[in-house]
């Protein structure tokens, strides 16, 4: 039995009836789990463009706050923090590669 959180078509009705890609389903599931169907298109875009590991990690972090008033805010904040960490690590690796080549 599928719940509303797991079945994006039930959650959003006919508005998003032309779902054909995996990232679209993932974005709509994010919106459902966060209770934020107003920003469903943003989550679809993020599912397409952002690193999936970052989104999954932020979602699991958000799940630790079951009584939060706005899970979407917590999720967006955590995505921003994780991206900052990811980019800092990537820049450090690039600097180390340049030092090794010299």
What's the pLDDT score for residue 99?
75
- With bands split at pLDDT 50, 70 and 90, how would you rate the model's confidence at 1? very low
Chain-centre distance of CA 101, in angstroms? 36
Residue 51 within a domain:
yes
Task: Answer whether residue 2 is part of any domain.
Answer: no
**Structural domain contains residue 3:** no
Q: CA angle 40-41-43, nearest 5°? A: 65
Residue 79's domain spans which residues?
A: 8-101
Whether the predicted pLDDT of 76 surpasses 70: yes
Cα–Cα dist 85/102, whole Å:
26
In a domain, 45, yes or no: yes
| Residue 21 CA: distances (Å) to CA of 6, 18, 44, 79 | 16, 9, 10, 22
Task: Flag whether pLDDT at 22 surpasses 80.
Answer: yes
Q: Does residue 101 or residue 25 have the better pLDDT?
A: 25
Establish if 1 belongs to a structural domain: no
Mean pLDDT of the chain: 86
Q: How many domains does the chain have?
A: 1
């Amino acid at each position: 039995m599928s719940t509303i959180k797991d079945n994006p078509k039930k959650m959003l009705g006919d508005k998003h009836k032309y779902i054909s890609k995996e990232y679209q389903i993932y974005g709509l599931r994010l919106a459902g789990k966060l209770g934020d169907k107003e920003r469903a298109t943003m989550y679809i875009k993020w599912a397409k463009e952002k690193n999936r590991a970052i989104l999954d990690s932020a979602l699991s972090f958000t799940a630790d706050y079951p009584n939060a008033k706005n899970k979407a805010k917590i999720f967006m904040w955590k995505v921003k923090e994780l991206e900052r960490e990811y980019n800092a690590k990537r820049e450090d690796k690039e600097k180390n590669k340049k030092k090794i080549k010299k």
